[in-house]
Amino acid sequence: MKIGVPKWIKILMYIENDNMANVSRKLGCTYSHLSKIVNQFKQKGWVSIMRNGRANVVTLTEKGTKIKDACQTIAIELNINGYQKC
């Protein structure tokens, strides 16, 4: 049985001090879909969002970095299909 990577984990892996438009392009998802998930991450304290001109720059918090690291460890251990270390 192959296990795919959940979309929220992919989003978490691609957040690296980048603006949300770039992240949505890298993931191939709409900006509005990404924005909805990133706002949920913000409520949990996983990311911070800063305004830079017209762009929203999203950055992982310390808590978000720990979650990302844990997800990477699990994905590697399970040899999850489609997982790439970002």
The answer as to whether 85 is a domain residue is no
Of 2-11, 37-46, 49-58, least confident by mean pLDDT is 2-11
- Count of the separate structural domains present in the chain: 1
Please report the pLDDT score of residue 54 as a whole number: 87
Average pLDDT, the chain: 84
Q: How confident is the model at residue 45 (pLDDT cuts 50, 70, 90)?
A: very high
26 domain residue, yes or no:
yes
Q: Inform me whether the pLDDT recorded for 56 exceeds 80.
A: yes
Is 25 contained in some domain? yes
Return the minimum-mean-pLDDT range out of 8-12, 21-25, 26-30, 78-82.
Answer: 78-82
Domain with residue 16: its CATH number is: 1.10.10.10
DSSP line for the chain: ---PPPHHHHHHHH-SSEEHHHHHHHHT--HHHHHHHHHHHHHHTSEEEEEETTEEEEEE-HHHHHHHHHHHHHHHHHT-TT----
Range of the domain at 34: 7-78
